[in-house]
């Protein structure tokens, strides 16, 4: 459940922020669905080889943001309505920027790129319906 976390010690951001981001990403993509138990503080400390204080800070911040809930004696789980809107917005902005870069490389005009985005959104909406 906790494999795959990557702590980059050369990253300018503190470790706790890197861990928070990765937990939110797992929730956002559905790896950890609503109500799912998340690893205990002890499990993450051992797996990531970081201090207990670091992981306690991660969990406290995630709980404060409404992403997880913690019950004494039962552990922590994904909240019923995790607040991940900012994460989705940031990811979308990054993907749009990348699409714009690719469009420029391909010589597309902004209208052509917008048209392609609209077509992709329409296609995906139809597939989900």
Ranges of each domain in the chain: 15-78, 85-128
pTM of model > 0.85: no
CB 5 within 8 A of CB 20: no
Per residue in 89-123, pLDDT (tens digit) is 777 888 899 999 999 999 999 999 999 999 999 99
With tokens 């048209």, the residue in question is 115
Going by pLDDT thresholds of 50, 70 and 90, the confidence category of residue 85 is: confident
Residue 87 has pLDDT above 70, yes or no: no
Per residue in 12-67, pLDDT (tens digit) is 999 999 999 999 989 988 899 999 999 999 999 999 999 999 999 999 999 998 89
Q: How far apart are CA 52 and CA 65, in angstroms?
A: 20
Q: Which residue from 99, 73, 15 is spatially nearest to 49, judged by alpha carbons?
A: 15
CATH of domain 15-78: 1.10.10.10
């Amino acid at each position: 459940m906790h494999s795959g976390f990557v702590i980059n010690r050369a990253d300018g951001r503190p470790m706790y922020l890197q861990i928070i981001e990765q937990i939110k990403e797992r929730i956002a993509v559905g790896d950890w669905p609503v109500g799912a138990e998340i690893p205990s503080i002890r499990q993450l400390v051992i797996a990531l080889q970081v201090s207990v204080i670091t992981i306690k800070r991660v969990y406290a911040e995630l709980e404060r943001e409404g992403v997880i809930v913690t019950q004494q004696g039962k552990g922590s789980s994904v909240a019923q309505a995790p607040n991940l809107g900012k994460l989705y917005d940031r990811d979308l902005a990054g993907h749009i920027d990348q699409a714009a870069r690719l469009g420029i490389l391909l010589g597309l005009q902004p209208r052509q790129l917008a048209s392609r985005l609209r077509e992709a959104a329409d296609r995906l909406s139809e597939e989900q319906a």
